[in-house]
């Protein structure tokens, strides 16, 4: 990372240097100030809706079914006006009177002025273009700030006229906003209903189901305040996969993939008289769990992901998965001989 980029991103010594830009999530929150370590966060905000109602509940984060794809770790977005750049330099130059950091203010000011005032490449902070564009700056996805890819956005702030599209592959687009919203989807937990619950018997079908009220469409909207640009990413559950935790088991269906019913539920609740019937979603264990105590049954929901935007662009993103593991104790059926 260049010296200028580092100085413009690492601003703890001058917290009032310019408007804080940070991600927010939840119920219609505006962007709030804040930083974490040496990372300058984005101004982008997100709003989560579940069936039209705002929600902040989040049990887990989706994993992409495509191992070669992840939401973006960083991008560039409009960040600073010419007056903000000028104010930053003045503030740095004003801190030389503080203990232990004498001279640092002028050093930082000279470095910034070389780029933004003295024509290398900008003159007078582009003050003559105030209102005609913005300096775009690196922004880091707070969910992926520790990813190596987060360091890919290492350019210092650069000028972009209003209405122009930067010639930069990582410049903010509606799809990048949608991919960031993907990372914020509040997927619910996948603790399944089972009968028998807690412990089952060898060769006895175990019924598995999920209530229809739990798994519905979820949407997250990510927007850049002041621009009118936003993208909405929607996740819709499509199936539940059952992994019984041992090869000594038979799943229903045989693939272990339980489809979503028309009413949004998965499987069918157990009812009296069905102890020996074949469940539409379930498992039969063929061997007791024995000394190991329990089998780790994993239930994983697959979500179909799509997005739309205020520009009219949209499409599909890789399916996401989220699962949980439950211990199942399997016992031998005891018989009494008389």
Q: Can you tell me whether residue 229 is helix, strand or coil?
A: strand
pLDDT at 96: 67
More confident residue, 186 or 40: 186
Least confident of 87-96, 257-266, 302-311, 315-324: 87-96
Which pLDDT tens digit goes with each residue over 236-251? 988 999 999 999 999 9
Q: Are residues 184 and 196 in contact, defined by beta-carbon separation less than 8 angstroms?
A: no
Share of the chain above pLDDT 70, in %: 78
Q: Could you tell me the two tokens for 154?
A: 């290492």
Q: Could you give the angle at the alpha carbon of 45 between the alpha carbons of 41 and 51, nearest 5°?
A: 145
Q: State the angle between helix axes of 104-116 and 82-93 in degrees (0 to 180), rounded to the nearest 10.
A: 160
pLDDT at 306: 97
- Cα separation of 109 and 7, whole Å? 10
Locate the DSSP E strands across 55-113.
Answer: 63-64, 74-80
pLDDT at 98: 61
More confident residue, 214 or 332: 332
pLDDT at 28: 36
- Cα separation of 178 and 115, whole Å? 33
Q: Torsions phi, psi of 128, nearest 5?
A: -70, -10
Locate the DSSP E strands across 260-313.
Answer: 266-267, 282-285, 295-309
Q: How far is CA 313 from CA 46, 65, 103, 178, 231, in A?
A: 18, 23, 50, 10, 9
pLDDT higher than threshold 70 for residue 31: no
* Statement: the pTM of the whole predicted model exceeds 0.95: no
Q: Torsions phi, psi of 148, nearest 5?
A: -55, -30
Which pLDDT tens digit goes with each residue over 278-295? 999 999 999 999 876 899
- Cα separation of 165 and 133, whole Å? 11
Nearest to 236 by CA among 175, 305, 181: 305
- Residue-by-residue DSSP string for 148-209: GGGGG--PPPEEEETT---S-TTB--HHHHHHHHHTT--BPP---EEES-SEEETT--EEEE
First to last CA, the chain: 82
Residue 144 per-residue DSSP state:
G
Q: Are residues 174 and 311 in contact, defined by beta-carbon separation less than 8 angstroms?
A: yes
């Amino acid at each position: 990372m260049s010296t200028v980029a580092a100085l413009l991103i690492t601003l703890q010594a001058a917290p009032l240097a310019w408007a804080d830009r940070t991600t927010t999530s939840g119920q219609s929150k505006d962007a709030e100030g804040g930083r974490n370590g040496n990372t300058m966060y984005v101004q982008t905000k997100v709003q989560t809706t579940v069936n039209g109602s705002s929600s902040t509940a989040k049990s887990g984060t989706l994993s992409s079914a495509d191992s070669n794809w992840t939401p973006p770790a960083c991008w560039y977005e409009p960040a600073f006006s010419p007056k903000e750049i000028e104010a930053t330099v003045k503030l740095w130059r004003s801190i030389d009177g503080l203990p232990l950091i004498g001279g640092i203010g002028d050093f930082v000011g000279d470095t910034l002025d070389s780029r933004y005032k003295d024509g290398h490449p900008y003159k007078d902070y582009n003050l003559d273009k105030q209102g005609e564009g913005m300096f775009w700056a690196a922004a880091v996805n707070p969910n992926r700030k520790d990813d190596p890819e987060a360091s890919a956005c290492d350019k210092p702030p650069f000028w972009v006229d209003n209405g122009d599209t930067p010639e930069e592959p990582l410049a903010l687009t509606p799809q990048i906003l949608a991919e960031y919203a993907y990372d914020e989807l509040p997927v619910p937990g996948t603790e399944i209903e089972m009968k028998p619950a807690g412990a089952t018997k060898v060769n006895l079908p175990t019924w598995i189901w999920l209530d229809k009220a739990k798994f519905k469409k979820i949407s997250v909207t990510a927007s850049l305040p002041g621009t009118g640009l936003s993208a909405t990413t929607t996740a819709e559950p499509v199936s539940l996969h059952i992994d019984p935790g041992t090869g000594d088991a038979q799943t229903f269906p045989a693939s272990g993939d339980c489809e979503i019913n028309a009413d949004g539920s998965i499987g069918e609740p157990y009812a009296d008289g069905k102890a020996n019937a074949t469940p539409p979603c379930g498992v039969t264990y063929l061997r007791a769990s024995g000394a190991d105590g329990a089998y780790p049954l994993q239930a994983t929901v697959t979500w179909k992901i799509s997005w739309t935007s205020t520009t009219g662009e949209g499409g599909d993103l890789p399916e996401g998965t989220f699962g949980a593991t439950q211990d199942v104790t399997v016992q031998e059926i005891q018989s009494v001989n008389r």
